[in-house]
């Protein structure tokens, strides 16, 4: 099975809480690309994430539509927690060996530079490039894992800045549908708390990786594609300890744990720490 835009869209939608549709095509040099767009909206007003599968490389590019000015400007006004998550996800991409090319208003810059937030954003260029990859070498499942990993990371960075509006009809129940970009000129995204949690989940996994922090298990590697992305996200900071207005930092407050370790963590209240879980384990 070659990388398929529909299954990529499904996976990124599930990870981020924003519904995407997928298409595919080829660059002039023959490189194949998969492209995701928020579902159900005029493409010009939103954006695409294009994942180019090159020779031993994957590039994921943020491509705003021709009429996405308001959305881009709103991204430049993201709150401090969104900015912090954006920086942390991009730093994790660099730590994982990628080059991050970022330009605001046409000027190449660095996500760590606070000056990027000082002027209104008229344009945003962002490409995450990971070279030196073993890809297109005949293992389609491994290829798809890499494509999903880098596309979800790019999506997590972009989503950190998207203007999220908490749905006023939020009932506290799990939402049946994905969040969507509303039509019209207002650049905002309606979500409920569940979707915001998923955005945090996507960011936490982009930052920490898809393996268990307590036992290093990667479910997708152990069980194959059926278990890809099967990892739980544990709140290190207990919800009961912090006030209702507390803004979760996906880097320090959330930790990926496999279902086993997560279950063991909650055998005590307050839960066992990741370090305690590591110490508990017996050599097998």
CB of 238 to Zn ion, least distance (A): 9
Residue 61: cis peptide before it, omega within 30 degrees of 0: no
Length of the chain: 284
Q: Phi/psi of residue 190, each to 5°? A: -80, 130
Task: Write the DSSP symbol of residue 26.
Answer: E
Minimal distance, residue 209 CB to Zn ion, in Å: 13
Closest separation in Å from C-beta 141 to Zn ion: 22
Nearer Cβ to Zn ion (6/222) = 222
Residue 25 bridge partners (DSSP): 33
Angle (CA) 73-252-233 rounded to 5° is 95
The mark string for 228-267 relative to Zn ion (x by CB under 5 A, - otherwise) is: ------x-----------------------x--x------
CA 55 – CA 39 distance, rounded (Å): 30
Q: Are 47 and 38 in contact (CB under 8 A)?
A: yes
Rounded Cα distance between 31 and 150, Å, is 17
State which residue, 41 or 234, has the beta carbon closest to Zn ion. 234
Give the binding-site size for Zn ion (rule: CB under 5 A): 7
Quote the least distance from Cβ 15 to Zn ion, whole Å. 18
Question: Whose Cβ is closer to Zn ion: residue 142's or residue 215's?
Answer: 215
Minimum distance from residue 164 beta carbon to Zn ion (Å) = 23
Shortest approach of Zn ion to residue 228 CB, angstroms?
A: 16
For 97-156, the DSSP string reads: T-EEEEEETTEEE-TT-GGGGTS--S-EEEEEEE-S---SSS-HHHHHHHHHHHHHHHHH
Which CB, 12 or 233, lies closer to Zn ion?
A: 233
Phi, psi dihedral angles at 239 (to 5 degrees): -55, -35
CB nearer to Zn ion: give 166 or 239. 239
Residues of span 34-63 touching Zn ion by CB under 5 A: none
**Binding residues for Zn ion restricted to 203-232, rule: CB under 5 A:** 212, 214-215, 217
Binding site for Zn ion (CB under 5 A): 212, 214-215, 217, 234, 258, 261
């Amino acid at each position: 099975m070659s990388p398929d835009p529909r299954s990529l869209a499904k996976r990124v939608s599930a990870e981020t809480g924003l519904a995407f549709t997928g298409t595919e095509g080829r660059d002039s040099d023959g490189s194949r690309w998969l492209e995701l767009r928020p579902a159900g909206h005029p493409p010009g007003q939103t954006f695409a994430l294009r994942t180019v599968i090159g020779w031993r490389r994957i590039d994921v590019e943020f491509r705003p539509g021709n009429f996405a000015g308001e959305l881009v400007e709103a991204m430049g006004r993201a709150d401090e927690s969104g900015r912090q998550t954006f920086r942390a996800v991009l730093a994790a991409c660099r730590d994982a060996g990628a080059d991050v090319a970022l330009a605001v208003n046409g000027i190449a810059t660095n996500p760590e530079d606070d000056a990027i937030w000082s002027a209104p954003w008229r344009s945003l260029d962002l490409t995450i490039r990971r070279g030196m990859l073993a890809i297109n070498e005949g293992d389609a499942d491994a290829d798809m894992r890499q494509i999903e990993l880098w596309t979800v990371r790019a999506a997590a960075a972009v989503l950190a800045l998207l203007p999220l509006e908490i749905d006023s009809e939020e009932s506290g129940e799990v939402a049946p549908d994905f969040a969507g970009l509303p039509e019209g000129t207002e650049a905002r995204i309606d979500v409920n708390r569940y979707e915001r949690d998923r955005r945090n989940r996507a960011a936490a996994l982009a930052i920490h990786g898809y393996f268990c922090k307590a036992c290093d298990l990667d479910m997708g590697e152990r069980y194959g594609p059926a278990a890809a992305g099967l990892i739980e996200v544990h709140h290190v900071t207990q919800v009961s300890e912090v006030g209702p207005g507390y803004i979760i930092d996906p880097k320090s407050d959330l930790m990926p744990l496999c279902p086993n370790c997560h279950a063991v963590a909650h055998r005590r209240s307050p839960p066992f720490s990741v370090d305690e879980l590591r110490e508990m384990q017996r050599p097998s």
